Amino acid sequence: MHIPDGILPAQICIGGYALTGLTAWFSLKQINRTPNPSEGVPRAALLTAAFFAASLLRIPLPPASVHFVLNGLLGVVLGYYAFPAILVGLCLQAIMFGHGGLSTFGVNAVIMGIPALVAAALFRSRDRLFPAQAHARWLTGVFAFLAGACGVGLAALLFYSLVILNLPAELNAQAEQAALTTLLVAHVPLTLLEGIFTALLVLFLEKVKPELLNQRRKTHVL
Amino acid sequence: MRLDLDAYVERRSPIHTWEARCKLVGCMALILAFACVQRLWLLPAMIGVTLIFYSFSRLPLSFLRHRLRYPGLFLLGIVALVPFVSGETVVWQWQQVTVYREGLEAVLLITTRFFSILTVALILVGTTPFLSLLQALRSLGLSPILADMTMLTYRYLYDVTENLATMQTAMQLRGGTELSPAAPRSRWWSRLRHVAALLGTLLIRSYEQSERVYKAMRLRGYGHPATTGAIARSPIPLSSWFTLMGIGAIALSFVVAELCLPQP
């Protein structure tokens, strides 16, 4: 879900860089408010590397296979570190594999990073909305599902809107709307699958290593 | 997975010896100038500048061919679709199939911009060691948190990838899930749970490793104000300034031509 070079006009690319700069500044400001900001850096870096490797893994979805985006899960686990983590991941993907591009780096960061922050806030809202049920596993599963599905769903919406609305030759409004709706409807099964996968993974982490999820609550509250 | 970032950085060429900060600024200016181009008559000049720049870098053509392949696949989808759905002026028609002139022009514009921008980006990353690029970004104002995260992610990416491959093999040897679409479909849910557990274990291992890495870094002074202060900036050679000005002038001329010159 990365926009390659050449498709978007310069105004959108520069706008993407500006929005990315603003969001990165906001995330780093929140990280710097913690007592020891450098403490989270190795953790965020190694988890970024793990997410990077995991996103290359193909999951069987008969009759084909897919790979997960995992930006919702990244938000759930890393909180405010998710946006810097996505910047790092996109930078390495652009340099190593040519996924995305340098001119569209800012736009791609917005497409992946802002949904990750929304997913993080959504998952975190569980504690505020249901304080009496802090240990209910089903509730953790539901919010993890919503975070995972929201991460990829929002990213797909941003991605297709930007690509279709910025093609150099004008599509007529009806064709644009039809294309956007078709592509988004086609993404619904993948969104649900990503939500289910995120829920399974978060429930696994809560059972085996709960501090990995609680760390986020301790160090950088969303 | 093959991670070959610095395969051609040891070669000798005028682009290789160009100072990293100037190269970064110059290449980004050229990339954004190319992204500005909307007029078709500027495309030959754009390709010409790109090819001359690439020939100066002395990077092999196989490098360019190899790196164009994957992003080219995405572009292929657009190239195959746009001429048939976008535009008003009919160029060719057969029953329900119509090819539009505006769509063809859009394809030409997108493909040329894609080729030129990607080639300049490849010149930047192909002629500069990754760590020099990171240092250049840091000296241009990149946050130390982002710089440290990038360096550590790059450092441990190889380890984590190997870890994942080993865990996958171990899981399969124990009779666990085979991660292939050719595997039986009947236990799809159980396979999904196994993959979630596999990735969960990878995250836990990485988390535990990060705790050890942080302790080791602390012992070496990481996080101490003396080690996170201002970074040393080496002086930029005059020749690098001149090259930057030359590339900047080329980039500016594309922007001026796009914004100010009338359509021929």
Instruction: For residue range B194-212, list pLDDT tens digits in order.
Output: 888 888 888 888 888 888 8
Per-residue pLDDT at A83: 93
Instruction: Name the one residue in this structure whose structure tokens are 């600024």.
Output: B25
Question: What is the Cα–Cα distance from A213 to B174, expressed in whole angstroms?
Answer: 29
Q: Which of A166-170, B164-168, B192-196 has the lowest mean pLDDT?
A: A166-170
Structural domain contains residue B3: no
Per-residue pLDDT at B86: 75
> What residue segments make up the domains of chain A, in order of their start?
10-217
* Nearest-by-Cβ selection for A168 from B3, B31, B106: B106
Whether B135 and B217 map to the same domain: the answer is no
Question: What is the Cα–Cα distance from A116 to A90, expressed in whole angstroms?
Answer: 14
User: What letters, b where the CB count within 10 A reaches 16 and e where it falls short, cover B7-29?
Assistant: ebbeeeeebbebbbbbbbbbbbb
Cα–Cα–Cα angle for B54, B58, B59, nearest 5°? 75
Instruction: Name the one residue in this structure whose structure tokens are 């679409």.
Output: B181
Q: Which residue of A has its CA nearest to B196?
A: A201
Question: What is the Cα–Cα distance from A23 to A106, expressed in whole angstroms?
Answer: 11
Give B215-252 pLDDT, tens digit per residue.
Answer: 888 888 776 666 555 555 678 888 889 999 999 999 99
Ramachandran area for residue B87 (φ above 0: left; ψ -120 to 50: alpha; else beta): left
Instruction: Name the one residue in this structure whose structure tokens are 């001359």.
Output: B52
- Residue A97: pLDDT band (50, 70, 90) is confident
Q: Which residue of A has its CA nearest to B212?
A: A42
Other CB atoms within a 10 A radius of the CB of residue B220 amount to 9
Residue numbers of B between 244 and 263 with CB closer than 8 Å to A:
none
Give A121-159 pLDDT, tens digit per residue.
Answer: 999 888 888 877 777 888 888 999 999 999 999 998 888
Question: What is the Cα–Cα distance from A33 to B262, expressed in whole angstroms?
Answer: 52
Per-residue pLDDT at B177: 60
Q: Is some CB atom of chain A closer than 8 A to the CB atom of B204?
A: yes
* Nearest-by-Cβ selection for A39 from B201, B214, B228: B214
B149 and A88 within 8 Å at the Cβ level: the answer is: yes
Residue B154 belongs to what domain range?
A: 144-227
Structural domain contains residue B264: no
A47 and B32 within 8 Å at the Cβ level: the answer is: no
Whether B95 and B157 map to the same domain: the answer is no
B100 and A169 within 8 Å at the Cβ level: the answer is: yes
Whether B27 and B125 map to the same domain: the answer is yes
Per-residue pLDDT at A219: 47
Distance, in angstroms, between B241 CA and closest chain A CA? 23
Q: What are phi and psi of B92, to 5 degrees?
A: -150, 140
Q: Is some CB atom of chain A closer than 8 A to the CB atom of B131?
A: no
Q: Is some CB atom of chain A closer than 8 A to the CB atom of B206?
A: yes
Which of B89, B155, B157 has the highest number of chain A CBs within 10 A, making it the mutation to test binding with A?
B157
Per-residue pLDDT at A27: 92
pLDDT at B15 over 70: yes
A38 and B228 within 8 Å at the Cβ level: the answer is: yes
Element (H, E) at B93: strand B90-94
Give A100-128 pLDDT, tens digit per residue.
Answer: 788 889 999 999 999 999 999 999 888 88
Whether B156 and B92 map to the same domain: the answer is no
* Nearest-by-Cβ selection for B180 from A60, A91, A204: A60
Whether B189 and B154 map to the same domain: the answer is yes
Whether B158 and B88 map to the same domain: the answer is no
Residue numbers of B between 69 and 108 with CB closer than 8 Å to A:
70-71, 74-75, 78, 82, 85-87, 100, 102-103, 105-106
Whether B57 and B98 map to the same domain: the answer is yes
- Residue B5: pLDDT band (50, 70, 90) is low
- Residue A9: pLDDT band (50, 70, 90) is confident
Tokens for B89?
């002026």
Structural domain contains residue B15: no
Looking at the structure of chain B, the number of domains it has is: 2
Whether B180 and B214 map to the same domain: the answer is yes
Structural domain contains residue B190: yes
Q: What is the ipTM of this complex?
A: 0.83
Whether B223 and B246 map to the same domain: the answer is no
Whether B163 and B108 map to the same domain: the answer is no
User: What letters, b where the CB count within 10 A reaches 16 and e where it falls short, cover A60-71?
Assistant: bbeeeeeebbbb
Nearest C-alpha neighbor of B188 from the set A31, A90, A60: A60
Nearest C-alpha neighbor of B208 from the set A43, A156, A29, A133: A43
Question: What is the Cα–Cα distance from B101 to A169, expressed in whole angstroms?
Answer: 9
Task: Report yes or no: A56 and A67 within 8 Å, Cβ to Cβ.
Answer: yes
Structural domain contains residue B171: yes
Question: What is the Cα–Cα distance from A68 to A51, expressed in whole angstroms?
Answer: 10
Whether B149 and B135 map to the same domain: the answer is no
Tokens for B33?
């100038």
- Read off the pTM: 0.85
Q: Which residue of B has its CA nearest to A100?
A: B71
Whether B197 and B239 map to the same domain: the answer is no
Q: Which chain A residues are within 8 Å of B38, Cβ to Cβ?
A: 9, 168
| CATH T-level topology, domain A10-217 | Arp2/3 complex 21 kDa subunit ARPC3 (1.10.1760)
